[in-house]
Amino acid sequence: MSEFKSDEARRIARATLPDGLRPETLAVRTALAPSQHGENSEGLFLSTSFIQPSAEVSAQRFANSEDFTYGRTSNPTVRSLEARLAAMEGTENAVATGSGMGAILLMCMGLLKAGDHVVCSRSVFGSTINLFAKEFGKFGVETSFVSQTDLDEWRAALRPSTKLFFAETPTNPLTEVCDIAALAEMAHAAGALLVVDNTYASPALQRPAALGADLVMHSATKFMDGQGRVMGGALCGPNHLIRDVFAPVIRTAGMVLSPFNAWVLLKGLETLSLRLKAQSEQALAVARWLEARPEVARVYYPGLPSHAQHELAMRQQSGQGGAVLSFELKGDSPEQARARAYHVIDSTRVLSIATNLGDTKSIITHPATTSHGRLSEAQRQAAGIQQGLIRLSVGLEHVADIQDDLLRGLSTLNT
Ligand SMILES: *Cc1c(COP(=O)(O)O)cnc(C)c1O
């Protein structure tokens, strides 16, 4: 039979890691202890419910949402992912959700009520703007949208009812960087919390909690998976928010992560720092190369000295620019610029034309007609999204093949 004596099981479990391990080690090693079988890769517990030893123990566990009872409350594979994420972000705890937007929804449901006010960067992810302005606007939460980089605008937007600052850095697609420590200080002086969407840099490059952010939010769909397979999201923060505020809300509202997706994300996290560093280096090489091309008007990439917040970005992001860049083609009119952007995109034979990012496969996107396609031309101009703008999420193909693929269109622009 396959039963282990309990002391043998404990030897396999190695339940507690030593203190002081570095982030790369935590990304590979943090998880719940293995089962009695001693699996070296974390177990996938694809089970909606968990057998209880007795009615009395069942009653106790239902009263404590940290025990395993039912999948909407917790699951061991999801719990391992949450522990690993918290270790990587340097926070006490984390809660995983079914998508990045699910994480922001959970955050809003847990922290906001009618009459509350939010200050949010104007440059954050489009669905985030809609969630605050439209969906929570319906429930009497007001949101002021301000410049990503102008601290005076954040200060001027403050009201006595301000509960939350929400920022994302770097942003999509123009890679604007905000000063996390300065925003945290301003939010705290006003009695508000700072939430940072850390999807783009990931904890491999940037740890917002160490700079004063109260909560760190993720779309795990992007770099954490890193291979374009599953949706996921998370909030990382202190126990008094994660365990006491958000755990009861997610248990009621149900935007939970699938155990299968959690298992895929656990594997993704093990290679996150290697991928981010390699993809950042490739992105820097592509950005430098694009900056020297005569067809290109401007390159947006935090790793370039020409970027408006280059020094801040290098300080905040472990000296790396990240894997996403944008570039603008020259053009005499918006129509001509768009035709040129389409030509460059359609001439590629290696890159994927898609709207995801953070994948090992490089992805090319035309923001003005996809992510920002529902804005009016005037709103797009105000946001700095020109028709000639192309976004590139740089993957792990050989950098010369990425450049050659872009060159197919760049070298044949004749309109
Ligand atoms: C994709 C994304 C989101 C939303 O995440 P989903 O997993 O798609 O729900 C939020 N913020 C940023 C910066 C993103 O890139």
Task: Render pLDDT for 309-365 as a digit per residue (tens, 0 to 9).
Answer: 999 999 999 999 999 999 999 999 999 999 999 999 999 999 999 989 999 999 999
Q: What is the DSSP letter of 244?
A: I
Residue type, 368: A
Domain residue extents for the chain: 7-270, 272-410
- Whether residue 198 has its Cβ less than 6 Å from ligand 1: no
Q: What is the DSSP letter of 17?
A: P
> Ligand 1 test: best mutation among 132, 216, 222, most atoms within 8 Å of CB?
222
Q: Provide the pLDDT confidence category of residue 371 given band limits of 50, 70 and 90.
A: confident
Alpha carbons 166 and 332: distance in angstroms, whole number: 37
Q: Are the C-beta atoms of 224 and 216 separated by less than 8 Å?
A: no
**What is the distance between the terminal CA atoms of the chain, rounded to a whole angstrom?**
75
Closest-lying ligand 1 atom to the alpha carbon of residue 200:
13
> Residue written as tokens 């177990």?
43
Q: What is the DSSP letter of 43?
A: P
DSSP assignments along 124-185, one per residue:
S-HHHHHIIIIITGGGT-EEEEE-SS-HHHHHHH--TTEEEEEEESS-TTT-----HHHHHH
> Can you give the pLDDT at residue 204?
97
Find the mean pLDDT for residues 280-301: 98
- Whether residue 99 has its Cβ less than 6 Å from ligand 1: yes
DSSP assignments along 178-226, one per residue:
--HHHHHHHHHHTT-EEEEE-TTTHHHH--GGGGT-SEEEEETTTTTT-
Q: Provide the pLDDT confidence category of residue 4 given band limits of 50, 70 and 90.
A: very low
44 token code pair? 């996938």
Q: Provide the pLDDT confidence category of residue 374 given band limits of 50, 70 and 90.
A: confident
Pick the CATH number of 272-410 from 3.40.50.300, 3.90.1150.10, 1.10.1060.10, 3.30.110.40: 3.90.1150.10
In this structure, the residue with its CA closest to atom 7 of ligand 1 is 100
Full-model pTM: 0.94
Segment 31-66, tens digit of pLDDT: 999 998 999 999 999 999 999 999 999 988 888 766
CA–CA distance from 236 to each of 89, 201, 229, 383, 385 (Å)? 7, 15, 22, 29, 31
In this structure, the residue with its CA closest to atom 2 of ligand 1 is 219
Find the mean pLDDT for residues 135-161: 97
Q: Are the C-beta atoms of 352 and 328 separated by less than 8 Å?
A: no
Q: In 3D, which of 81, 78, 97 has the Cα closest to residue 89? A: 81
Segment 100-110, tens digit of pLDDT: 999 999 999 99
Q: Are strands 363-365 and 352-353 parallel, antiparallel or unpaired?
A: parallel
3-state secondary structure string across 283-337: HHHHHHHHHCCCCEEEEECCCCCCCCCHHHHHHHCCCCCCCEEEEEECCCCHHHH
Same fold? 7-270, 272-410: no
- Whether residue 386 has its Cβ less than 6 Å from ligand 1: no
pLDDT for 14 beyond 60: no
- Architecture per CATH, 7-270: 3-Layer(aba) Sandwich (3.40)
Alpha carbons 195 and 168: distance in angstroms, whole number: 8
Find the mean pLDDT for residues 270-286: 98
Q: Are the C-beta atoms of 45 and 178 separated by less than 8 Å?
A: no
- Whether residue 233 has its Cβ less than 6 Å from ligand 1: yes
Q: What is the DSSP letter of 368?
A: G
Phi and psi, residue 100, nearest 5°: -65, -40
- Whether residue 222 has its Cβ less than 6 Å from ligand 1: yes
User: Which of 20-24, 370-374, 376-380, 393-397 reaches the highest mean pLDDT?
Assistant: 393-397
In this structure, the residue with its CA closest to atom 5 of ligand 1 is 100
274 token code pair? 């290697």
> Ligand 1 test: best mutation among 108, 127, 171, 174, most atoms within 8 Å of CB?
127
Q: In 3D, which of 307, 306, 299, 328 has the Cα closest to residue 390? A: 328
